[in-house]
Structure 1
Amino acid sequence: MALIWGLTWLPMKIASEAVPPIFLAAMRFLLAGLCYLAFILARGLPLKVNQPGRVIVASLLITTGCYSLLFWGVARAPTGLSSIVNLALMPIFVILVAAFYRQERITLRRVGAIGLGVLGLVMLFSGRTGSGQEGALLGLAAVAGATLSYAWGAVVSRPLMQTMHPISLAFWETSIGALGLIPVSLLVEGYDPAYFAGLADPRAAFGLAILVLGGSLGGFSIYLWLVRDWGAFRAGLYSFVSPVVAVAVGVAFANEAFGWPEALGMTAMLSATALAMTEGRPLSRPREAG
């Protein structure tokens, strides 16, 4: 899962050069929803929705809220830095949201991890405050907002995984979230028939293939299984590996800059992730939020 998600960042940015980013996100999740549906029908999995209100809220957070901000942000910021912000902040935001829902507890170690993560984020942003960097700064801020939305949705989803098959839940969260992305795209990017023609561009076609087959059908399905069995917090272990993959790909294939501010910020944020993740405690089954 970590490898898959680390490799999706650059194709996402390349595809956004051919079609608007939020429109791209909507097409990605509409296609992924159809693929999930075909798999469910072929395997005879149940499509029944338990707690429909919770499913809708989780869908709007995990798919609509997260990926509208994420695709918009990545189109404006370097993919390597975007991945660092997203993946290193994920466990920190999950700690905070899960503590609010009484699924996790705030400890002194985790407070230290949160502080170190914020320091790393400040270091990353400090290298983007000069002239001409406003777009990248806004993009990284949007990625941070997307991360909070996803973390919140992951915690909301956790009780659903005890009563719904992970693939069925992925279908509903993907499809409902995709429908939510359509009005967001229309509001932000407007409507133009040329957007659909742009999907035939090799950049968009390649990006969609990687995002749908790898990011959604592969990575997201694995993630849901891990959240069900480990909880949302420990499922965030992929945060150790994916940023390194994304940064390496961005530097090697897109000539993205990576200097001392980025290196120090990445080190601080991944150290925060390590500090939070290595706190010893027994794995526990998820419980219904209070």
Structure 2
Amino acid sequence: MSRNAALFALMCLVWGLTWLPIKVGAQHVPPVFLAAARFTIAGVLMLAWAGRDLRKVPADAWPRLVATALLLNTGNYSLLFWGAAQAPSGLAAIVNFATIPIFTIIASRTIEGQAIGARKLAAIGLGTLGLCFLFATRALGGLDAASGNPLEIWGLAAIALGTLLYCFGAVLARPIASRMPTLALAGCQTLIGGIGLSLVSASFETVTAAHFQALVAWPTLPSLAFLVLGGSLIGFTVYMRLVRDWGAFRAGLYAFISPAVAVAAGVLVLSEPFGWSEALGSLLMFGAAAIALKR
């Protein structure tokens, strides 16, 4: 196995497993508060790593950088962490990863005017059908694997909406991405997003001193450490290397592997159910993602 292939396997494993610490950590502290801690810490570490590259951020790029940070990290992860606290981690990962290629097509069309051909329309339609199937089973009380949490369907909807915000933010960031070092851009967006998440948490969650204590205690501390080191630092670094060496298409194939890791971790560690209705909806969404990612 080549080094890049091994790094790809590591990235898929790490990003698939990040849903587990989100679920575990959100049982002990408010979910957006957990997200704020993750992105604030990760942003500081990224900027320290970027060092002098931070000076290379053009002054006229800051308005767009701040706006995209609020979409990519604040808006997206507020919804994603809250949604992941309500829904099974495996389904949360599937909704997130499988809709990224589809929502990117929609964002590119809306912002950049890129044409949507028959293949892309098929991807959007199939992905929408898969999402509707997953949501319908929840709305009807669940077939096979519904957990009984009345907020589960809203959690999955929040994750889908957060992913849409992420894709719009990613497309809006394209004009400035080539004008500055990647790590400086990511560090700024991550830290700004963390500050925004802190404001969201302070506005909508009740955070007490006990939550700060829980943040540095078992099992929240190791969950937070994995999210920062694995999900943000290692995952991001490996992904950027693979984009450089393999291209965005091949590196983006993690969207088909990481959800499987998340489902397996949820079933084995958290005893989350996963039945035929979830499998069918997931297959529809993965089929849509495959069509969207086709060269």
Using the size of structure 2 for normalisation, the TM-score is 0.88
Distance 1:142 1:224 in 2: 27
Q: Paired residue for 2:257?
A: 241
Paired amino acid for 1:263: A
Unaligned runs of 5+ residues in structure 2 are: 1-10, 143-147
Of 4, 14, 25, 2:24 maps to: 14
Deviation at 1:197, TM superposition (A): 0.7
Q: Deviations over 1:257-288 (max 9, x none)?
A: 1111100001000011111111x3xxxxxxxx
Distance 2:235 2:115 in 1: 27
Paired amino acid for 2:43: G
Q: Is the alpha carbon distance of 1:260 and 1:159 closer, same or farther for their aligned partners in structure 2, counting shifts above 3 Å?
A: same
1:259 and 2:267 aligned: no
Paired amino acid for 1:52: W
Q: Paired residue for 2:192?
A: 176
Farther-moved stretch of structure 1 (29-38 vs 99-108): 99-108
Alignment of 1:98-247 (within 5 A): 98-102=108-112, 104-129=114-139, 130=141, 132-223=148-239, 236-247=252-263
Q: Paired residue for 1:69?
A: 79
1:90 and 2:100 aligned: yes
Of 66, 87, 100, 1:56 maps to: 66
Unaligned runs of 5+ residues in structure 1 are: 281-290
Distance 1:195 1:122 in 2: 36
1:47 and 2:61 aligned: no
1:2 and 2:12 aligned: yes
Q: Paired residue for 1:26?
A: 36
Distance 1:141 1:243 in 2: 17
Paired amino acid for 1:106: I
Q: Does structure 1 retain, via aligned residues, the 8 Å contact 2:76–2:165?
A: yes
Identity rate of aligned residues, in percent? 50
Distance 2:149 2:207 in 1: 28
Q: Deviations over 1:226-272 (max 9, x none)?
A: 67898877764321111111111111111111111100001000011
Distance 1:146 1:33 in 2: 20
Q: Deviations over 1:170-208 (max 9, x none)?
A: 110001111111110011103422221111221211111
Number of residue equivalences: 277
Give me the CA root mean square deviation: 2.1
Q: Does structure 2 retain, via aligned residues, the 8 Å contact 1:5–1:242?
A: yes
